[in-house]
A and B are shown apart, each in its own frame.
Chain A
Amino acid sequence: MKPLFLACFAAALTCAAVAQAQVRIHDPWVRGTVPSQKATGAFMTIQAEQDVRLMSAASPVAGVTEVHEMVMDGDVMRMREVPGGVPIAKGASLQLKPGGYHIMLMSLKQPLAAGQTVPITLTFQGAGNKTFTQKVEAPVRALGAEAAAGHGAGAAHKH
């Protein structure tokens, strides 16, 4: 009886784990920094399998990690922490990219050089307001090597 109970318990855990695969992360990357620089951004695409809300992020390389939105107000760039998280509808993708949302890594504990990988843990709110986390390994891209992605950042990409 006992082994059966354990097996059920394990199966339930596995089911829970499967149920938690509510998001898929594509193309994560972090912008590299120079030695004295204390802040940078992380970018990726988050594809939601369920209705979820990106609540927060954390990384061992940064003292403070926040979810930010960059908006252009005329020619003025404004950047803000997103209050209450960012909702992503089931089947939709949230792009964290230059010119929009990003994960702001602040109070960096070390410079981030191209080729390194930065672990980031995203916290989401899913079905029934339950929170779950998703780990991401984001490779660092060289600071000066990102001209192409900057093309048309801003109004041109709004839909």
Chain B
Amino acid sequence: MRRTLSSSRRALILRGAALAACTAALSACDRVGGPSAQGFRGIDITGAEFGRGFALPDHTGSLRRLPDFGGQVVLLYFGFVQCPDVCPTALARAAEVKRMLGPDGRRLQVIFVTVDPERDTPQILAEYMAAFDPAFIALVPSAQQLAQVAADFRIYYRKVPTGSSYTMDHSSQSYLFDPQGRLRVMLRHAQSAEDYAHDVRLLLRSA
């Protein structure tokens, strides 16, 4: 009796696994080669097994979780303030994207996660976000939280000494979550504000 039960359970598990594999294969079709079925200009990562969410303090000290931004597209970017080049370029582009969306700009929430919590205090981050858009949010993880969230979003970061100071090597891609809080698109740093705005519009329209 026990054996039958366990074998039928096994069959159920196998069927579940087969279904999951089919779904993965289907969503992989979107991803592999050429433009995605959705027409994103970034990489379609719908159904990704990583980056399901976050729970981190922001630059005002409030705990922020992904579901707090339901109904909005979230643009998530990892960087640091003492960064002369890619980070301000990425944030200026995000501000530009928001302007390009017009009234829908309110439905885009830009979130910056610092990879340099040692130097990026909440105060610096508040000043820094305000320089681009007062509505941008910075998340300030502890060193341990940073290691977790970076691993979860497949973000590489490393402290590199330079003279008497240090800089940070880090991944420069941006992620887009749809208004239901699902991770959908990865955009590269080399892509334009038009590309970013295009994908944000698609996600807002599909909501």
| Neighbouring A residues of B89 by C-beta, 8 Å | 98-99, 146, 149-150, 153
Among A39, A104, A143, A149, which residue has its beta carbon within 8 angstroms of that of B132? A143
Contacts A75-B172, A78-B160 aside, 7 further interface pairs with beta carbons under 8 A come to A37-B124, A64-B164, A105-B84, A146-B88, A146-B89, A150-B90, A152-B192
Q: Is the CB of A75 within 8 A of B171?
A: yes
B46 at the interface (CB under 8 A from A): no
Closest Cβ of chain B: how far from A78's Cβ, in Å?
Answer: 5
B91 at the interface (CB under 8 A from A): yes
Chain B interface residue count: which class? 35 or more
Q: Is the CB of B160 within 8 A of A79?
A: yes
Closest residue on chain B to residue A156 by CB atoms? B190
Instruction: Tell me the bound Cα distance from A42 to B172 in angstroms.
Output: 21
What are 21 of the A-B contact pairs (CB < 8 Å)?
A: A32-B131, A34-B128, A34-B131, A35-B127, A37-B127, A38-B82, A39-B83, A40-B84, A64-B164, A70-B84, A70-B86, A76-B171, A77-B172, A80-B160, A98-B86, A104-B162, A143-B132, A147-B95, A151-B93, A151-B193, A153-B190
For chain A, the count of residues having a C-beta within 8 Å of the partner chain is 44
A155 at the interface (CB under 8 A from B): yes
Instruction: Tell me the bound Cα distance from A154 to B162 in angstroms.
Output: 22
Among A40, A68, A75, A105, find the residue whose CB has the most chain B CB atoms closer than 10 A: A75
A51 at the interface (CB under 8 A from B): no
A41 at the interface (CB under 8 A from B): yes
Q: Is the CB of B128 within 8 A of A72?
A: no
Q: Is the CB of B92 within 8 A of A147?
A: yes
| Neighbouring A residues of B95 by C-beta, 8 Å | 144, 147
| Neighbouring A residues of B172 by C-beta, 8 Å | 72, 75-77
Q: Is the CB of B190 within 8 A of A155?
A: yes
| Neighbouring A residues of B132 by C-beta, 8 Å | 143-144
